[in-house]
Amino acid sequence: MKVAVMGYGTVGSGVVEVIESHDNVITKRTGGEPLEVAHILDLRDFPGDPHEKLFTKDFNDILSDDEVRVVAETMGGVEPAFSFTMKLLKAGKSVVTSNKELVAQKGLELLEAAEESGANYLFEASVGGGIPIIRPMSQCLAANNIEGVAGILNGTTNFILTKMIEEDMDFSDALKLAQDNGYAEKDPTADIEGFDACRKVCILASLAFGKHVYPNQVATEGITKITLEDVAYIHSIKGVIKLLGQIKYISDDKIAAFVSPAVVQHGSQLASVNDVFNAILVRGDAVGDVCFYGPGAGKLPTASAVVADMVDAAKHIERKKIFGWGAGSEDYVVDYKSTIEMPFYVRAKANKVKIQAIFGEVKFLSRIGQPSDEVAFITDRMTENALDNKLAGVDVINIIKVTNY
Amino acid sequence: MKVAVMGYGTVGSGVVEVIESHDNVITKRTGGEPLEVAHILDLRDFPGDPHEKLFTKDFNDILSDDEVRVVAETMGGVEPAFSFTMKLLKAGKSVVTSNKELVAQKGLELLEAAEESGANYLFEASVGGGIPIIRPMSQCLAANNIEGVAGILNGTTNFILTKMIEEDMDFSDALKLAQDNGYAEKDPTADIEGFDACRKVCILASLAFGKHVYPNQVATEGITKITLEDVAYIHSIKGVIKLLGQIKYISDDKIAAFVSPAVVQHGSQLASVNDVFNAILVRGDAVGDVCFYGPGAGKLPTASAVVADMVDAAKHIERKKIFGWGAGSEDYVVDYKSTIEMPFYVRAKANKVKIQAIFGEVKFLSRIGQPSDEVAFITDRMTENALDNKLAGVDVINIIKVTNY
């Protein structure tokens, strides 16, 4: 079967590589039909690339090729990926993607277009890179009420936090190392401010609970305020700080979804997820906690997930997969700060007496080199708004959510 | 859609419970059709059970009910489960099962019968209880050459080892605790001798590499020889002992598959899998390592996996799922002892000089209370046969494989 690849960057070139190097397994899994790359769309030139004859700068070469039934979109960004994908789906071609920004922003419209034309729109690679998560989650869903999802969804920030936790490296040094290793971009904003994790939370939430969640509905906080002092305090209670995307079921019409640093206790499967690895924990009412771990990014891992979707799309040319969701609404995602209760880690310039006067008996933490006017403690369960009220007169340095995953 | 459940033990009664309590999600996932339990087959009586009217002792009540299209087999054991399943599949009814013994022994025949009649035979719950593994693995397969699989596949032994490692409890006390908690049977042989893990290895190996592997082809060693002394030595090198099922690709016509205690280093995702939890790590050439973690047993987790398969079977009444495999052969699984090289942990009554004379420079381990005539060390990579030759004149106490997972 003829296929096309749009975007010949890291993932796209990986897709072509995996298709060529895994001809045997792919052919076996499609039931006998190999995938053959017929077009590669990219505006750049790749002189000397062995696929020179396949390159095109004209999207219509793919759209108008009736033999191309499956297209991988690995361009990234919303436009022109959205327009191209929409046209392909409307023309009845299936599209698979690693583009989390597009799925998070425009997934609903694209899924609806696919629904109408009978094509498939698959996006396994858009969350968790090479980790199979879309199908396992869909399967968990079949006989569970999902209570919550928590994920380490961004490899760059997990790498930085791992260096801070395990090697006592400070944030800016760890960020620089991530950049030197190619894990972080020159402008690391999307990673360290949590925007990338936010997009993945949108996709997971949409899938888990059946209604589209948009990035602007997800309160998002990055890791730039985390310091080695916080790491040390949390270490003293056998915990680690991770950037987590969290989704919580409230009712069929309400969920909470947020991205933030969070304290995870040793012993949790999420605590031992280090470096650039990702993990997604799904809590179901029947199954309990299941967790999926693997490389969250990287050329070949992500490409292998894209190609697996291409294989699935090729097998399902004549019938629909049912991954998808409906429309949400503005008030579908609640303000978690007024609704979700949890314990918090608080670090402040204050003395214990003052804190106890406000919070009653709390668990104080300590670290080597702790100044006499600094306290750190874990609160009881309460909403973040309630916490903020209590802390109104306190000189707070940092607040971090404490999870029960 | 009418369904039936065969075997009303822990899992079977859980299946009925999940079907009834999760009507809303199930109906959503089947695309609008609820599952309705029409028959429950069990030779025992359950006086006062609210499903009294559904019970039958006659298998033919299920076989002859044309409206029943999907049957859950949660009886366990090979017979009569095999005969019943075969008849159902030949009659075109789909069967889903949690019965690892049956899938490991007779999976090939049953899959062939399903293939012929166009019914589905699904077995997600037979490996890893509630952990989705069959479909994710099948998906990893689509664009990866699988290099190996390693799994903590038995909750009982993992519970025992966890108690030995974390609470310094000796084997027999930990086994007794497992029995008191209902995690181990009165006769714990199938768990502690590795037979249960062996069956799951057969299923994973058959699925991963496409050819049926039978239990008698898998060299199987349990955990009864593991002592607290071994635990202490391994702890000194930041490792833990786990009962692992391992499968290694050698060529398209050869694999290795074995069950044994194995040393796993801290930092591995398998090292932090504690208590009755299971985890399965799949190593692909493109994706790298992905790992699936969750409850490996238990009434509702396992039942939720069975019901998820029932939902899938209900959705696929008119078309085939492609999970399956072909025939293997007697020499398909190699003697790993002569082929697979790895490092080994060795504990022996000997002195270091003698060991160094045999092995050259090796890494010696130590523990508190170590007798002066005892050594423990890690060898270089070699086959187990080569190791046995070297150790011919040595008074060996224990040997444990060291993994690179």
pLDDT in tens, A212-222: 999 999 999 99
For B294, which of A25, A31, A289 is closest by C-beta distance?
A289
Q: For B62-216, list the strands marked E by DSSP.
A: 68-73, 94-97, 121-122, 146-152
Nearest C-alpha in B relative to A298: B287
ipTM tops 0.90: yes
Per-residue pLDDT of chain B (405 residues; tens, 9 = 90+): 999 999 999 999 999 999 999 999 999 888 888 999 999 999 999 999 999 999 999 999 999 999 999 999 999 999 999 999 999 999 999 999 999 999 999 999 999 999 999 999 999 999 998 999 988 888 777 899 999 999 999 999 999 999 999 999 999 999 999 999 989 989 999 999 999 999 999 999 999 999 999 999 999 999 999 999 999 999 999 999 999 999 999 999 999 999 999 999 998 999 999 999 999 999 999 999 999 999 988 899 999 999 999 999 998 887 666 668 999 999 999 999 999 999 999 999 999 999 999 999 999 999 999 999 999 999 999 999 999 999 999 999 999 999 999
Q: Is B291 on the interface with A (CB under 8 A)?
A: yes
Amino acid present at B219? A
Which chain B residues in 185-214 lie under 8 Å from chain A, judged by CB atoms? Answer: 210
pLDDT of A46 higher than 90: yes
Residues of A in Cβ contact (< 8 Å) with B22 = 143-145, 286
What are A200-245's pLDDT values in tens digits? 999 999 999 999 999 999 999 999 999 999 999 999 999 999 999 9
Strands in A121-122's sheet, in edge-to-edge order, are: A55-56, A36-41, A2-6, A68-73, A94-97, A121-122
Phi, psi of A52 (to 5 degrees): -45, -40
Work out the pLDDT band at A321, boundaries 50, 70, 90: low
Q: Is A289 on the interface with B (CB under 8 A)?
A: yes
d(CA B392, CA B230): 21
Q: Rounded to an integer, what is the distance from CA B285 to the centroid of its chain?
A: 23
How are beta strands A146-152 and A121-122 bridged, if at all? unpaired
Residue A48 DSSP label:
T
- What is the average pLDDT across A46-53? 94
Which chain B residues in 253-282 lie under 8 Å from chain A, judged by CB atoms? Answer: 267, 269, 271-274
Task: Please judge whether B145 and A287 are an interchain contact, meaning their C-beta atoms are less than 8 angstroms apart.
Answer: no
pLDDT of A319 higher than 90: no
d(CA B223, CA B238): 20
Residue A121 DSSP label:
E
Q: How far is B268 from chain A (nearest CA, A)?
A: 8
Which chain A residues in 338-397 lie under 8 Å from chain B, judged by CB atoms? Answer: none
Residues of B in Cβ contact (< 8 Å) with A316 = none
- What is the average pLDDT across A73-82? 97
Work out the pLDDT band at A140, boundaries 50, 70, 90: confident
- What is the average pLDDT across A101-114? 97
The pTM score is 0.94
Amino acid present at A82? F
- Residues B385 and B338 sit within 8 Å (Cβ to Cβ): yes
d(CA B82, CA B68): 19
d(CA B118, CA A358): 68
Q: Which of B100, B163, B200, B401 is catalytic?
A: B200
- Residues B257 and B201 sit within 8 Å (Cβ to Cβ): yes
DSSP string, B5-16: EE--SHHHHHHH
Pinpoint the alpha helices (H) of B210-323.
228-236, 299-315
Q: Is B155 on the interface with A (CB under 8 A)?
A: no
Cis amide bond preceding A80, omega within 30:
yes
d(CA B294, CA A267): 13
Share of chain A above pLDDT 70, in %: 99
Residues of B in Cβ contact (< 8 Å) with A301 = 286-288
For A311, which of B143, B298, B312 is closest by C-beta distance?
B143
User: Could you give the maximum distance between any two Cα atoms of chain A, in Å?
Assistant: 75
Tokens at A80, concatenated: 């022109």
Residues of B in Cβ contact (< 8 Å) with A267 = 272, 274
Angle between helices B195-209 and B134-142 (to 10 degrees): 30
* Mutation target vs A (from B19, B273, B275, B291; most A CBs, 10 A cutoff): B291
Task: Please judge whether B291 and A295 are an interchain contact, meaning their C-beta atoms are less than 8 angstroms apart.
Answer: no
Q: How many CB pairs under 8 A join A and B?
A: 168
Task: Please judge whether A292 and B290 are an interchain contact, meaning their C-beta atoms are less than 8 angstroms apart.
Answer: yes
Q: On the CB side of A373, how many CA atoms lie within 13 Å of its CA?
A: 5
For B293, which of A31, A291, A308 is closest by C-beta distance?
A291
d(CA A34, CA B90): 32
Residues of B in Cβ contact (< 8 Å) with A25 = 141-145
Q: Is A200 tagged catalytic? A: yes
For A29, which of B136, B142, B301 is closest by C-beta distance?
B142
d(CA B373, CA B347): 11
d(CA B177, CA A286): 25
Share of chain A above pLDDT 90, in %: 91
- What is the average pLDDT across A323-327? 85
Nearest C-alpha in B relative to A288: B301
Task: Please judge whether B274 and A286 are an interchain contact, meaning their C-beta atoms are less than 8 angstroms apart.
Answer: no
Q: What is the CA radius of gyration of chain A?
A: 23
Q: On the CB side of B65, how many CA atoms lie within 13 Å of its CA?
A: 20
Task: Please judge whether A25 and B135 are an interchain contact, meaning their C-beta atoms are less than 8 angstroms apart.
Answer: no
